[in-house]
Amino acid sequence: MSDNYEDMTVAELKVLLKEHGLPVSGKKADLIERLSQTSQEEESEVVEDVAEDETMTEGYKMLNLRVGKEYELLGANLKVSAFANNVLDQVARNSTSFVKDAVPLPGRNVGLNIRLTY
């Protein structure tokens, strides 16, 4: 991202500095230097909260969807819902699992639930 700082206006640089809680005073070169240092520090941050004999797992974002509707039907309650888990089929691993290296979390999963109570 530091390559793009040169192309930015002073106003844009100041917005980024404010987002990071950094001072916004100085010349454009000073602002770029401040942002570059912050970027390097953020990139070099390493999680050190790992137990002995434990390995790190990559982060992931999973998209789950659920939709449902209830109906009154002859004095009974009908509830219909559909779901989709891990829609993007991300490979994810539970960092606290002993078998995380061999067994990933479930892939894409879809289903339909129907419940009739009377």
Q: Architecture of 2-44 per CATH?
A: Orthogonal Bundle (1.10)
Helix (H, G, I), strand (E, B) or coil at 102: coil
Tens-digit pLDDT profile for residues 83-117 = 999 999 999 888 888 888 888 889 999 999 999 99
Domain assignments of the chain as residue spans, ordered by start: 2-44, 65-117
Q: Which pTM was predicted? A: 0.49
Tens-digit pLDDT profile for residues 42-68 = 655 555 666 677 777 788 888 999 999
Rounded to whole angstroms, what are the CA distances from 3 to 8, 23, 35, 75, 76? 10, 21, 11, 67, 64
Tens-digit pLDDT profile for residues 5-26 = 888 899 999 998 998 888 999 9
